[in-house]
Chain A
Amino acid sequence: MRRRVFMTGIALLAAAWCGTGFAGAGQVEDVAALMRALSSVGGVAGHEGQVRAAIRKAAPSWASFEEDNLGNLTVTVGSAGTGLLLVAHMDEPGYVVTGITDRGYLKLQRLCRQPLPPLFDQFHIGQPLLVQTRRGAVAAVAVVPSTHLWRGNAAPLNRQVLDEDLFVDIGARSPEEVGAAGVALLDPVVIARRVVDLAAGKIAGPAMDDRTGCAALLWLLQTLEPSKLRGTLTVAFSSQEVMGGRGAARLGNRLHAGDVLVIDAPSTGTTGRTAAVPGGGPAVSAPGGKDDYSQRLYNLAAERAAGLQMPLQNVVFAPGGDQSGFQGKAQVLAMGVPVLYPGTPGEVADAHDVLALAQLLKAIAEAER
């Protein structure tokens, strides 16, 4: 009941928010461009190099990044007062090459410990893929039965497709040709990137979880006025979140921030949908719960959002993500933007939400904590 009242409230606020033209069209387009750029690169856990490169490219020139041994990228502004750490993860669920057949096809293993839809591997069969080799990306396709040869009998696709069922064709017809193409065991494999603008600022493409978080932090860096900051701000782009928050665990031990905002897509439970909707404003975790989210940070976020006349959507975030790296070490709150159809190549997010989130984070960074 409490949630229903809350949701009704945010619906009204969201309507008013959109109606006031709170976000300038130019700013929304700037954020949309970041979302497109970040969704357009692959970043399997432990292989986030292309995402790191895209972040470095989009960051302001003053940003002096530090990269640690797990590939986390951090930049710190200011040097006094209680530290605020903002963390968004760069990685996405994907595959690595685990075998090469005599006929030159690649075999794969999925690399993700977070819950995925049971059709995740099916979403890749018959689709263009990219093998991200040490020498560059190699075009590939996931082999699929021909409809003509099975018409009237969809048997090959009438049982669950698993990663071990996938054969990947790069155009090589022997292991030697695979090697000559530059492909080696353990190279990461992702779906080829197809990113499409929908209407009203929404964008569909792969890995909006959590490239939307990365886009929000990048916009924050691009527009930051260091003189307005209260205390030290560290912006972190973490690695290996889908493997249990390994990058964040490293950050939790390396950085000693008092307050941590983990920027990620809300959990969808078993339905693939969150209680939040794209276009309804940023999402925030309720205080307390298993992850012991901070009441103080929640109040601060709510207060700043109210000051900006910005709706906030109260949602659940999946346990075991980046927040686990900071529990017991800092005050933690999870925030993000709603992402529709997570785990598909067509994840949908709204650039207005991402911009609003970035503006809210900026307001929090400038607030007395």
Chain B
Amino acid sequence: MKGRRRCAVVVCAGLALGGETMAARPAREGGSFSILETLINTPGVSTREQAVRDRIRALLPSWAKADVDAKGNLLVATGPEHGARTLLFIAHMDETGYLVKAIRDDGSLEVRPAGGFFETLYEGQVVLVHAAKGDVGGVVPPRPNYFEAAAAEAPSAFAGDAVRVELGVASRQAAEALGVAAGDPITIPKAFRRLYGSFGSGRAVDDRAGCTALLLALRGLEPKTLRNRVMFAFSVEEEIGLNGAQALAQSVHPDLAIAVDTFVSSDSPLERDAFAHAVLGKGPVVRAIDSSNITDPAIIDRVLSLARQGGLPIQYGLTRGGNDGSVFPEFGAPDLALSWPTVHSHSPVEVIHERDLDNLGALVRLIAERW
């Protein structure tokens, strides 16, 4: 073992093993959770979305021609070139995580977070550094005084420079010999898990579920029957400032931008239900108001009407967070955000209901066909 270059051996018992989760139903072949699982298990920290982009390409229908812009956004356009309207659906490929900032002399890694999350969720946990030559195993050491009573006095005081990653080496040279370099992304070992009934959980349900909904819609569309020009964008760098969407807004000028992203729900025993209370399993959500956008009520009414005509359950409400579509109104296109309800946002255990994802894919298709 010593001296040999190897990819990290990772065992995720009870995370990915179907036999371990005896209460959960197996994923339907080609079903929404089957696609979601493939995407969630692929790491794609902001700025490092290549692997996710490749997965999405592989999951596109055979007729779809995909282009990648200079920023790294993946674009699929269909329908008449000069259709009645141009609709742009956008879901982001990236996820929160860490990036290697520097390698210290002692071989440990300084890291910086990509996106916002409770950094305590990584404390004392194992991680993977996705280096160019392969994954390298690591651990995030807990704070130095974690065994002392004082640690309980400021339990959330674990962030910024306090977060490091140890690889089991004792020098910078040894870390570099593993192939680790500044800029490498870091995630927890990723594994989608089915819960009882029709729930599923994993890191980066936000926004691989949005990507899944777009793929479901694309797979169901008949391009020749479309009257609108419909564009599907899989964007980069949403979590660190909507950067991919910003680039798209400069180059694509739709009549309506439709962000497909999480509705962070308070449907949880640790949240207050005064707002954001969309119930998991009760259908997709029109994210009417969030921290970045207020959607025209007329657009909301039209979506609700379409959904009801299509026999789809639908919810609407207000939550927090921004969405990729919010950069388009200043260029003239209204922003409509469509979602599924999720709890535990930006944690390793974001939870989603499969029926919500199925119906979100159907809603995206419905809007593409009938708007």
| Contact digits for B176-211, partner A, Cβ 8 Å, 1 yes 0 no | 001000000000110101111111010000000000
**What residue of chain A has the Cβ atom nearest to residue B127's Cβ?**
A196
A205–B11 touching, CB < 8 Å = yes
Chain B contact residues: over half helix, strand or loop, or mixed? loop
Residue from A21, A204, A268 in contact with B139 in the complex, judged by beta carbons closer than 8 Å:
A204
CB distance from A318 to the nearest CB of B (A): 12
Please determine whether B117 and A147 come into contact, CB atoms closer than 8 angstroms: yes
Q: In the complex, A183 Cα to B196 Cα: how many Å? A: 11
Count contacts between A and B, CB distance < 8 Å: 293
B1 contacts partner chain A, Cβ-Cβ < 8 Å? yes
B residues within 8 A CB of A130?
Answer: 14, 20
Q: Chain B residues near A156 (CB, 8 Å)?
A: 270
- Give the distance in Å from the alpha carbon of A205 to the alpha carbon of B9 in the complex: 12
For residue A197, CB closer than 8 A to chain B, the reply is yes
B148 partner residues in chain A, CB cutoff 8 A: 118, 270-271
Stretch at the interface among A65-73, A80-88, A246-254, A345-353: A345-353
Q: Nearest-CB distance from A164 to chain B (Å)? A: 13
Interface centre among A21, A196, A198, A340 (most CB of B within 10 A): A196
Confirm or deny: B13 has a beta carbon within 8 angstroms of a beta carbon on chain A: yes
Identify which of residues 1-38 in chain B touch chain A, using a CB-to-CB cut-off of 8 Å. 1-2, 4, 6, 8-15, 19-24
User: Please, which residue of chain B has its CB at the minimum distance from the CB of A343?
Assistant: B147
List the one stretch of B73-81, B150-158, B308-316 in contact with chain A. B150-158
A170 contacts the other chain (CB 8 A) = yes
CA of A195 to CA of B17, assembled, Å: 14
A199 touching B147 in the complex, CB below 8 Å, given contacts A32-B1, A126-B349, A341-B124: no
Contact partners of B363 in chain A: CB under 8 A: none
B141 sits at the interface (CB 8 A): yes
Stretch of B42-50, B52-60, B167-175 lying at the A interface: B167-175
Determine whether the beta carbon of A136 is less than 8 Å from that of B155.
no
Is B300 an interface residue, CB under 8 A from the partner?
no
- CB of B167 within 8 A of CB of A126, answer no
Point out the residues of chain B lying under 8 angstroms from A123, CB to CB.
123-125, 142
Additional pairs, 13, CB under 8 Å, beyond known A138-B24, A151-B116, A198-B167: A119-B142, A128-B348, A137-B20, A183-B23, A192-B13, A197-B9, A201-B2, A204-B126, A205-B11, A268-B147, A272-B147, A340-B141, A343-B124
Can you pick out 26 interface pairs between chain A and chain B where the beta carbons lie within 8 Å of each other? A25-B4, A118-B146, A119-B124, A119-B152, A126-B349, A136-B19, A141-B193, A143-B270, A145-B270, A146-B265, A146-B266, A154-B156, A182-B22, A183-B23, A193-B14, A195-B10, A195-B12, A196-B128, A196-B138, A196-B189, A199-B136, A199-B178, A271-B147, A341-B141, A345-B124, A348-B139
